């Protein structure tokens, strides 16, 4: 308890929120003991119905009402079950996907909350994996190449369609909203704290450092955002947005407001508790997973986000070409944070599950052998077990160098060298190829892509001595974790924390509430251990390295052919 700051009460609690791709999670933790008192998850109702999504054009949108409803559902569930603990909550912090941005009015309210725009996808939150702004990203990169200042040096010398300006520009010129109505644009990680604080003017909203520095081309090196003449060269339609952005931002360990009376009553929490700056989910997961210098935290979920930190003085002026993010003060204050990873991981297997289960559901719907209730239960049961069965059978395969092989670019490539126009490939199939063979190839591709990312970072001097896996796939897929350990020829530890992202927000909430003096002190007290470790099976090394060579060749061929096709 030596790290705890000026604390006399026996128990004190904090809440961490995580707004992910599919759902909102709330976590209530005793900030002194680390006991996870309760958690609640609510899925976004409109998103789960497939509304406002068009996979054919990589359009993925969240209606702001999905966030507002699940925020209330999750927190109210916890506070109603634990009223005594809720009364002793001292801080709240949150993390979200990013860049997940929405056009907003003068008050910072998403346009989709206006009747005029309530069913307009371009007035909703454009989530991280939406690539509809790919053409805009291409144009931004063209202008960056001729700019006297390299504004993309901290995003791998490339600006991605997953980032802020590509999305904002696409919304403004897509013709479905009136640019005059879009006074600004706001990230979900900034919108929720502002909402809870009761801010009614955009100029009061305090933006999080991690998202602005990693996704918005903000840097102290060039005095904040690129100057107006850069945006003038892109498109004057961007100038009002640029002029309305705040000039400062705040780390996730800093307080950006206090819970207002209205939301305190709605959520069942004390008025005035400290609110932390919004954070990026992958950054928060790294903190909750126990990141430190030399330790890479691998967030294995819908996508894969690999997070590392380096002391700035040790990294010096080196820039990692092709990294997705390299930002001073992101992830941990005082360190340089590195973000890399895969644009699709869990999404790949969700696609394969959908592919495999569609005929089952389609045929069952027409069957007259069973009643509707039994039909639905049977379909759901089979869908739930498909991936489990495939993983089980894939683990029994006798893999050779010539076995089916895949690349992982089902949602483009995040790193190294981001290119979201790339498509995935599967090769070496014949009439004997089974569903398990394809499943194994997909799992192996993610392991090979991981090796490529880590080898690339180490080539530029990023120190990676230890690996910690977090997220749903890390917890649920022994086959994939063993593959990653085998391909990397490294131990892969799995955090005992099943909600590392929300735990990162818990750590920041405890810091902004003054319970701990620093994030490091809060980590030492609250981070979980790693009781499971996957060790590499050395007898598989030579085979996997030969298959990795094939993977690299297949990737090079695929990239070349797709560029010709474009």
Quick: pLDDT tens for 125-181: 999 999 999 999 999 999 999 999 999 999 999 999 999 999 999 999 999 999 999
Q: What is the pLDDT of residues 349-361, one digit of tens each?
A: 999 999 999 988 8
Q: How far apart are the C-alpha atoms of 235 and 135, rounded to whole Å?
A: 13
For residue 2, the model assigns a pLDDT of: 37
Q: Rounded to 5 degrees, what are φ and ψ at 176?
A: -100, -10
CA atoms within 13 A on the CB side of 210: 35
CA angle 136, 142, 143 (to 5 degrees): 95
Q: Give the list of residues 6+ apart from residue 493 with CB closer than 8 angstroms, or none.
A: 466, 467, 468, 469, 530, 532, 533, 534
How high does pLDDT run on average in the chain?
A: 94
In a domain, residue 334? The reply is no
For the chain, the maximum distance between any two Cα atoms, rounded to a whole number of angstroms, is 70
Dig out the tokens for 367 from the structure.
């069957």
Do 107 and 127 belong to one domain?
A: yes
Do 451 and 515 belong to one domain?
A: no
Do 401 and 363 belong to one domain?
A: yes
For residue 364, the model assigns a pLDDT of: 83
Asked if residue 185 lies in contact with residue 103, where contact means CB atoms within 8 angstroms, the answer is: yes
Do 447 and 506 belong to one domain?
A: no
Q: What does each C-alpha distance from 113 to 68, 127, 249, 408, 431 come to in angstroms? A: 11, 17, 26, 37, 53
Q: How confident is the model at residue 1 (pLDDT cuts 50, 70, 90)?
A: very low
Q: What does each C-alpha distance from 246 to 104, 124, 233, 277 come to in angstroms? A: 14, 22, 21, 14
Do 41 and 20 belong to one domain?
A: yes
Q: How confident is the model at residue 305 (pLDDT cuts 50, 70, 90)?
A: very high
In a domain, residue 407? The reply is yes
Residues in the chain: 566
For residue 9, the model assigns a pLDDT of: 52
Element of type H or E holding 257: strand 255-258
Do 540 and 455 belong to one domain?
A: yes
Dig out the tokens for 137 from the structure.
């990203």
Q: Is the pLDDT of residue 515 over 80?
A: yes
Q: What DSSP designation does 181 have?
A: G
Q: What is the pLDDT of residues 183-199, one digit of tens each?
A: 999 999 999 999 999 99
Q: How far apart are the C-alpha atoms of 92 and 407, rounded to whole Å?
A: 40
Q: How far apart are the C-alpha atoms of 26 and 38, rounded to whole Å?
A: 8
In a domain, residue 233? The reply is yes
Q: What does each C-alpha distance from 275 to 250, 271, 356, 436 come to in angstroms? A: 12, 11, 44, 47
More confident residue, 5 or 456: 456
Do 385 and 507 belong to one domain?
A: no
Q: What is the pLDDT of residues 390-420, one digit of tens each?
A: 999 999 999 999 999 999 999 999 999 989 8
Asked if residue 90 lies in contact with residue 501, where contact means CB atoms within 8 angstroms, the answer is: no
Do 96 and 162 belong to one domain?
A: yes
Q: How confident is the model at residue 565 (pLDDT cuts 50, 70, 90)?
A: confident
For residue 78, the model assigns a pLDDT of: 98
In a domain, residue 7? The reply is no
Do 470 and 518 belong to one domain?
A: no
Dig out the tokens for 89 from the structure.
């909550």
**Domains identified in the chain, total number:** 2
Do 354 and 368 belong to one domain?
A: yes
Q: What is the pLDDT of residues 236-277, one digit of tens each?
A: 999 999 999 988 999 999 999 999 999 999 999 999 999 999
Do 407 and 285 belong to one domain?
A: no
For residue 325, the model assigns a pLDDT of: 92
Q: How would you class 365 by CB atoms within 10 Å of its CB: exposed for 0-12, middle for 13-18, buried for 19 or more?
A: exposed
Q: How far apart are the C-alpha atoms of 428 and 327, rounded to whole Å?
A: 41
Q: What DSSP designation does 57 have?
A: G
Q: Give the list of residues 6+ apart from residue 89 with CB closer than 8 angstroms, or none.
A: 13, 14, 15, 28, 269, 270, 273
Do 226 and 146 belong to one domain?
A: yes
Cα-Cα end-to-end distance for the chain: 60
Q: What is the pLDDT of residues 64-91, one digit of tens each?
A: 999 999 999 999 999 999 999 999 999 9
**pTM (2 decimals)?**
0.92
Range of the domain at 203: 13-290+497-526
Q: What DSSP designation does 140 have?
A: H
Domain harbouring 181, CATH code = 3.30.420.40
Q: How far apart are the C-alpha atoms of 149 and 340, rounded to whole Å?
A: 23
Q: Is the pLDDT of residue 8 over 80?
A: no
In a domain, residue 210? The reply is yes
Dig out the tokens for 72 from the structure.
């209330």
Q: Is the pLDDT of residue 315 over 80?
A: yes
Question: Could you give the dihedral angle defined by the CA atoms of residues 105, 107, 112 and 113, in that order, rounded to the nearest 10 degrees?
Answer: -150
Asked if residue 328 lies in contact with residue 213, where contact means CB atoms within 8 angstroms, the answer is: yes
Q: Is the pLDDT of residue 4 over 70?
A: no
Dig out the tokens for 190 from the structure.
């900034």
Residue % of the chain over a pLDDT of 90: 89
In a domain, residue 444? The reply is yes
């Amino acid at each position: 308890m030596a790290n705890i700051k000026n604390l006399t009460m026996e128990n004190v609690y904090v809440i961490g929120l995580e707004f992910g791709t599919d759902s909102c999670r709330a976590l209530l933790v005793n900030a002194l003991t680390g006991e996870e008192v309760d958690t609640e998850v609510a899925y976004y109702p409109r998103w789960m119905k497939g509304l406002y999504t068009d996979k054919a054009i990589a359009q993925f949108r969240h209606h702001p009402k999905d966030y507002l409803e699940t925020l209330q559902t999750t927190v109210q569930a916890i506070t109603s079950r634990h009223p005594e603990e809720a009364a002793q909550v001292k801080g709240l912090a949150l993390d979200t996907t990013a860049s997940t941005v929405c056009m907003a009015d003068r008050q910072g309210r998403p346009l989709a909350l206006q009747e005029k725009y309530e069913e307009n996808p371009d007035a909703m939150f454009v989530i991280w994996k939406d690539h509809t702004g790919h053409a805009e990203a291409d144009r931004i990169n063209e202008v960056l190449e001729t700019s006297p200042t390299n504004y993309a040096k901290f995003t791998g010398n490339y600006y991605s369609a997953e980032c802020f300006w590509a999305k904002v520009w696409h919304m403004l010129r897509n013709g479905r909203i009136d640019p005059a109505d879009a006074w600004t644009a706001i990230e979900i990680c900034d919108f929720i704290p502002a909402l809870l604080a009761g801010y009614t003017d955009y100029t009061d909203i305090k933006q999080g450092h991690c998202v602005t520095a990693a996704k918005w081309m903000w840097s102290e090196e060039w005095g904040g955002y690129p100057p107006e003449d850069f945006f003038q060269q892109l498109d004057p339609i961007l100038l009002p947005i640029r002029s309305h952005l705040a000039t400062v931002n705040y780390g996730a360990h800093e307080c950006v407001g206090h819970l207002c009376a209205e939301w305190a009553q709605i959520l069942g929490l004390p008025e005035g508790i400290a609110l932390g700056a919004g954070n990026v989910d992958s950054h928060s997961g790294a903190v909750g997973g126990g990141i430190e210098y030399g330790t890479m935290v691998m967030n294995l979920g819908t996508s894969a986000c690999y997070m590392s930190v380096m002391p700035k003085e040790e990294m010096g002026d080196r820039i990692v070409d092709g990294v997705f993010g390299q930002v001073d003060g992101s992830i941990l204050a005082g360190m340089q944070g590195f973000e890399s990873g895969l644009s699709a991981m869990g999404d790949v297997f969700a696609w394969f599950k959908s592919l495999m289960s569609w005929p089952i559901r389609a045929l069952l719907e027409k069957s007259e052998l069973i009643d509707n209730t039994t039909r639905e239960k049977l379909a759901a049961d089979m869908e739930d077990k498909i991936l489990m069965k495939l993983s089980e059978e894939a683990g029994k395969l006798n893999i050779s160098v010539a076995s089916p092989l895949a690349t992982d670019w089902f949602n483009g490539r995040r790193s190294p060298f981001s290119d979201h126009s790339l498509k995935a490939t599967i090769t070496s199939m014949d009439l004997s190829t089974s569903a398990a063979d394809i499943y194994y190839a997909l799992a192996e591709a993610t392991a090979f892509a991981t090796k490529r990312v880590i080898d690339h970072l180490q080539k530029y001097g990023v120190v990676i001595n230890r690996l910690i896996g977090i997220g749903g796939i890390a917890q649920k897929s022994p086959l994939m974790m063993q593959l990653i350990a085998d391909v990397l020829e490294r131990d892969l530890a799995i955090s005992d924390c099943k909600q590392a992202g929300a735990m990162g927000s818990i750590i920041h909430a405890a810091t902004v509430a003054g319970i701990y003096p620093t994030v490091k002190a809060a980590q030492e007290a609250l981070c979980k251990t790693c009781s499971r470790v996957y060790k590499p099976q050395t007898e598989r090394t030579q085979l996997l390295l030969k298959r990795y060579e094939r993977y690299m060749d297949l990737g090079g061929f695929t990239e070349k052919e797709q560029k010709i096709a474009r």
